[in-house]
Amino acid sequence: MTTTNLIVAKRAVIGYLQDKQATQPALNDVLIHYAYNPKLAEQEYVWGGAARFVRGNAGLAGPYDEQISLELFVDVRAFAAELEAADARGGEIAEVLDGLLSADPKLGNVVPGLVYRSVTSGEIAYGYYDDDSATSSLGLELLLRCHLGSGR
């Protein structure tokens, strides 16, 4: 039995968004990546962050259900004086991403039993740079459920 589907769930979410990106004009110039890589960071950059799981029926013979929380970050780099516009653009990108995931909660059925539930929380943070630019980083927490099959 698999200990957790946490990693395959993260891969599934990021891969699904990458596959569907071309269908959304609002995502034309956005880089979507599995994890943060400063060498790949662009003006508009979406990346997967930390992930956590909680298993239902722990210690009992399966089947098991996991609740998976996955951080997804939407970074928009702009001049520091334009952070309000960067926040708005980050919100627009986040809305498109949530719409894609909500339209196909099984994410193309790449991982049997994996279902996208919703964005459960989020926050905005900022990073400032020496060249008078800044990054608006909208962090979203995604909730997924995954069925892990029969017991041990």
pTM (2 d.p.): 0.90
In this model, does residue 38 exceed pLDDT 50? yes
Structure tokens at 120: 């459960």
Interval 65-100: pLDDT, tens:
899 999 999 999 998 789 999 999 999 999 999 999
- 18 vs 34: CA distance, rounded Å: 10
